[in-house]
Amino acid sequence: MQYVEMLRSRSVLTWFCGLLLGAFVLVVISVYSGHAHMHGSVGTIHFSEVLKGCAFGAMVLATCVAPGLNAESGTLAITWTRPASRSAIAWRYIAVDVVTILVGYAFVVALVLGFLAVYGLLGNLAFDAAAPLALLNAVGCVLMWYGLVTVVTARMDGRGGLISGVSWGVFLALTLLWIAPLPSMLHVLVTVLNYFSPFSYFADSSSRHGGTDTIVPLATQYLTLIAWGFVAVTLTATVRLWSTREV
């Protein structure tokens, strides 16, 4: 059951971390060989901004592991003969994926801190009070993306990887279209669709205080609550849809 997903997630995580570590090693070699230099002064680096920036790496990982449950569509007849409820099987798969995403996110944060150390910038790092909320917001948006992919593919026979990849184009396109000078009615439609995009709840400095230049003009704590609400709804729906599908 979940052991299959553990093997799949371990493979994805190994490749993900390996590629990032390889890039980090190249940076270290470049710095210590004298080929890379830091120009100009660097001001204060808020840890909350580091946490939010690292979420994009976790989003990539989330879309890589999200098709895991969908990949079992070809072996459901065997999977459902196990001495466990179908819902329990689904939740175990999701738990494995969530742990994988969190480990990958922590790895990205560690690499970024290592990068700052290589450039001698750890002294510029400030652990600000906004960091805990930034962490909740970042993880919530990452898991929201994961939940949206799993719920869409819950009853599909395969194609989970395709949907997961296409989601990047869809969410990025919706964000760009919202910025574009569209006719009023079309802009309203794009805005409504953006309410289902994780990027809309990914808080930046302006939305922290409820700026009106964001898709969802709410303070960070409310954006975070909505993102986690999507996580709860989509994962619960995923389990329900997957466990009641026809073989």
User: Per-residue confidence at 81, pLDDT binned at 50, 70, 90?
Assistant: low
Residue 35: its pLDDT value, please? 58
Residue 112: its pLDDT value, please? 93
Residue 214 Rama label (left phi>0; alpha psi -120 to 50; beta): beta
Residue with tokens 């909740």: 136
- The encoded tokens of residue 166 equal 């296409």
Residue 212: its pLDDT value, please? 42
Q: What is the mean pLDDT of residues 43-68?
A: 92
Residue 151 Rama label (left phi>0; alpha psi -120 to 50; beta): alpha
Residue 216 Rama label (left phi>0; alpha psi -120 to 50; beta): beta
pLDDT tens-place string over residues 167-225: 999 999 999 999 888 899 999 999 999 999 999 998 864 444 444 457 888 899 999 99
Q: What is the mean pLDDT of residues 67-93?
A: 76
What percentage of the chain has pLDDT greater than the value 70? 86
User: Per-residue confidence at 20, pLDDT binned at 50, 70, 90?
Assistant: very high
The pTM assigned to this predicted structure is 0.89
Sequence-ordered list of residues with C-beta below 8 angstroms from that of 171, at least 6 positions apart, any chain: 145, 197, 198, 199
Bridge partners of 46?
A: 126
Lowest mean pLDDT among 18-27, 95-104, 128-137, 210-219: 210-219
- The encoded tokens of residue 72 equal 């079992």
The neighbour count for residue 193, using CB atoms within 10 Å, is 16
Residue with tokens 């309203």: 188
Sequence-ordered list of residues with C-beta below 8 angstroms from that of 209, at least 6 positions apart, any chain: 219
Residue 242: its pLDDT value, please? 85
Burial class (CB in 10 A: 0-12, 13-18, 19+), 231: buried
Average pLDDT, the chain: 86
Q: What is the mean pLDDT of residues 34-63?
A: 82
The neighbour count for residue 166, using CB atoms within 10 Å, is 14
* pLDDT tops 80 at residue 43: no
Q: What is the mean pLDDT of residues 134-153?
A: 96
Residue 199: its pLDDT value, please? 94
